[in-house]
Amino acid sequence: MCNKAKYPYVATFFTHLGAIEFYEVLKKLGDKTAKMSPVPRHISISCGTGVFFSREYTPDEMSNPDVEKVFRIVGDKYIEIWGNEDIW
Overall fold of domain 4-83: Alpha-Beta Plaits (3.30.70)
Cβ pair 14, 88 in contact under 8 A? yes
Q: What is the pLDDT along the chain (88 residues), one digit of tens a residue?
A: 565 567 999 999 999 999 999 999 999 999 999 999 999 999 998 889 999 999 999 999 998 899 999 999 999 999 999 998 765 5
Residue 8 buriedness (CB in 10 A; 0-12 / 13-18 / 19+): middle
